[in-house]
Copies of this chain bind each other. A is one copy, B any other.
């Protein structure tokens, strides 16, 4: 069973499946916001489309609408005032459930084709979505375009590719013929139908409203499930545009638009009612430990795919390129003011210092030189504003203000005046030092631009400490700098045991906090920071079941 949209996008799908198998570099969605790629008018069109949402009702023709709400506040200080429909959770659930049977009936190829069409339209709207991401999250423009647009689309496509890879290996039917010696064989025809588990709830976060939403959205949708997207209250617009595009594609195909709906809730209890609704069978969640653990404990009727807090760390034992290492780390700590779930928080350095191509550096040298590298990197205001973006939440502003309590300040955070947005809350990173024994300081996620250079007895202790941090507190990323194979091996084994991705000696244009779709698994799903990964088979395989029927044939 095929489908026109499957055929339209088959080359992309085939390439995506090849990419997840080979895991080399690949993408169909160019990451450069260039008019030559996206069209001469794309830049202006996207900006206008974004601006056209401001101060208006964002209508979605969803069932059970009880009012409008406009909760977003831009970290850049501009007025957004987009009003979203507030819908009764029960009405969204009922509508999603009604839509499900038709979605099953078009089959895996049809569902995957529709998903690919949605992704293609999202890609064409990348500029509009980038502005929406930038202005709701505080990301800088380039990150908002790349991570909010093509890279998020990559992660969505990756999930579709995994879903297809799993679903396409289940045959629609077979003839089973069992020999019976001299008697005629037993012969049956058997049909195998892929059936979604039920309604999926995808709970977005305030910092990456598309990148962390698309994997769950597309994994669930492709495998036969209606999806209710519950965006973070301060980053609704990117999700709302996404949902509207999905609903448009579904409606064009004669499918029920309520297969994808937006749940903008005014009360926390509404989110909880959605999450614990008996018809909700999966929840994708990115966010804090408190609500994440609440979901795991209470939404027992659903599979929960959760990305929670962690304490990402880097061990520095030695380096063959001291300046490049410092530059690399300075960029990592500065990018989006450390408001990434992958940003390094603890940098573990031996008390006796490290050997480098610039001679031996003491612990204090390393801390001071890293502080200086950050300071230098951000010395140009335009660069600083572009890389740092703005601070997304008051909680993060508070953590920055309090950071001095946690250790000795090597580099203090500064407020920067953004050249384009005078009301933007822009802050440079704060870098602290502390002793390894000060676990309360550095061994708890302090989301935002707050990092610690931690004084550890020696390299072996640093490796052990890194492993313990990952096991106890979780991490999405770990790095190591060393010129010694035995240290690399020790870190490799530590990260294999603890279950975390390791970046080794990053000193160029790749950063520990970045992961590339189709190649890097984002999260391992094995330590407390996440119980799932973008993406692997486990991310999709349990979102559908196979229901069979069989009967005798001649």
Contact = CB atoms under 8 A, between A and B. Distances in A.
A548 B504 CA distance: 11
Interface stretch (A389-397, A428-436, A449-457, A538-546): A538-546
Interface stretch (A75-83, A150-158, A166-174, A419-427): A166-174
Contacts of A104: 496
A22 B177 CA distance: 12
A526 interface: yes
A310 to B, nearest CB: 15
Contacts of A175: 24
A342 B552 CA distance: 19
B504 A166 contact: no
Interface in A477-512: 492, 495-497, 499-510
A536 interface: yes
Given A171-B22, A495-B549, A546-B533, A180 B541 contact: no
A536 B547 contact: no
A549 B502 contact: yes
Contacts of A180: 509
A329 to B, nearest CB: 15
Contact of A542 (B509, B520, B538, B550): B538
Contacts of A533: 545-546
Contact of A25 (B178, B516, B552): B178
Given A509-B186, A510-B552, A547 B524 contact: yes
Given A23-B190, A499-B547, 16 more contacts: A21-B171, A23-B192, A166-B537, A176-B516, A186-B508, A186-B509, A193-B496, A195-B526, A501-B548, A502-B548, A502-B549, A506-B552, A520-B548, A526-B545, A526-B547, A541-B541
Give 6 nearest A-B pairs by CB, closest first.
A504-B551, A502-B549, A537-B541, A538-B542, A541-B541, A538-B541
20 contacts: A23-B171, A24-B174, A25-B176, A104-B496, A170-B536, A176-B516, A186-B509, A195-B496, A492-B549, A500-B547, A501-B547, A501-B550, A502-B548, A505-B551, A505-B552, A506-B551, A508-B552, A524-B547, A537-B537, A538-B545
